[in-house]
Chain A
Amino acid sequence: MTLDAAVRLTEILLSLALIQQSAEHLRDGGRMRPLFLARIGLCVLIILGVGAPLALAGLAVLSLPILYRFQGPYNGGSDRLGILAIWCLALSELMPTTAGREVIFGYLGLQVVLSYLIAGVVKIVNPDWRSGRALRDVFQFSAYPVSEDLRRWADRPRAMLAMSWAVMLFELAFPFALLSQETLVVALVVAGTFHLANACLFGLNRFFWTWIAAYPAIVWLQATIERVISP
């Protein structure tokens, strides 16, 4: 995948994800409505390929009052990645050289890889995660399960243990997916399924769309690494 194609695909996927998020905020109404309407408008322009540099810069600027309004990201990590992707795309457009664009866009790909690796590291050093206890806690009393019925999953300690290790090993192994295009495709399918499960069980729909929007950055990063290592 070329840099231009990867950037363009990320722009479109991210814009669709931001439109979905903004539409949810419009339901709330209030003073923020104009900001989210503006964000939707800018996303439509980006999808249509009209005035991309300015529209991306506009999205980056809009992220500041939105962050201020909620005193941080509205939905934690998913909004953080969305904002990171907006800023990387906007700054990449402003770079005067291709090398500069590659560094900025590569940073986005690197951060997505780190999002899995670091999440795996912080879990595996925790004895509660290694014993399956932490995932039982997530289901038993955390704020995330979308229904009371799901809390009963905590009563299956062996399943919790197996799921804990599956998640940790996948997250820790994710960087090795960059070894080849084939392994990366498999890893991204598994990762997408993982986010889909989180969206269904814990209602984290924003994570699903935002992470998928950033996947072209990893695909491009892998191809670039492969090209550099074996030209």
Chain B
Amino acid sequence: MRSLGLLLPALVPSWRFFDTIGPSPRIEYAVLSSPDATPEGWQEFRPRPQRVSPLAMLMRLFWNPRWNETLFLVSCAERLMDHPTLHSEDEIYRRIAADLGRDPDAASQPPWLCFRLVFMARDRDGLIREEGFRAAPRRREAATSR
């Protein structure tokens, strides 16, 4: 039944692309020595590169899995604010833990992980950043396997 509920918006779409440009989420993570530790040194998850060459842009027409995954995580971040579910949190945790796991020094890093959502928006004086959500810390192995 849940799948059919998700199917309906595809069969009768709304097509309201970019109708309003609201606050935009950035995922930031921190590694912790224990679940009670205060997170410090927040790092942006998958920051965009300074430059992408025109050739790389064209190649991404055919192969763009990492960017599409990042856009999916943006959807998860927005869902966490609109209709919080464990699914969205799991998806974000899983990708952060997987990326960290590829680090050669992964084993020596602190075992706990935490992420937060920081929203960028336009203000009268420029851009503002505001934390909108902070997930409860998880063990890195648990975050990967869920």
Contact = CB atoms under 8 A, between A and B. Distances in A.
Interface residues of A, number: 57
Interface in B103-145: 120-122, 127
A199 B67 CA distance: 11
Interface in A197-220: 199-201, 203-206, 208-209
Contact of B21 (A68, A83, A134): A134
Interface in B24-58: 24-26, 48-52, 54, 57-58
A135 B61 CA distance: 22
B19 A122 contact: yes
B6 A147 contact: no
A131 interface: no
A29 B74 CA distance: 20
Contacts of B122: 137, 140-141
A143 B74 CA distance: 7
Contacts of B57: 146, 199-201
A74 B75 CA distance: 8
Contacts of A157: none
Given A148-B50, A200-B54, A203-B67, A68 B6 contact: yes
B61 A205 contact: yes
Nearest to B9: A80
A25 B65 CA distance: 7
Nearest to A115: B15
A148 B6 contact: no
A71 interface: yes
Contacts of B21: 128, 134, 137-138, 142
A134 B20 contact: yes
Nearest to B87: A71
B51 A203 contact: no
B18 A119 contact: yes
A111 interface: yes
Residue of A25, A111, A118, A146 with most partner-chain B CB within 10 A: A146
A71 B65 CA distance: 19
A90 to B, nearest CB: 12
A30 B50 CA distance: 31
Interface in B68-90: 68-72, 74-75, 79, 85, 87-88
A128 B11 CA distance: 30
A131 to B, nearest CB: 12
Given A122-B16, A134-B18, A208 B61 contact: yes
Given A141-B24, A143-B25, 10 more contacts: A68-B2, A74-B68, A75-B71, A77-B13, A111-B13, A143-B70, A147-B48, A148-B51, A199-B61, A200-B58
6 contacts: A67-B3, A87-B10, A119-B15, A146-B52, A147-B52, A203-B67
The 8 closest A-B pairs by CB, nearest first: A24-B65, A122-B19, A64-B3, A200-B57, A137-B21, A83-B10, A203-B67, A118-B15
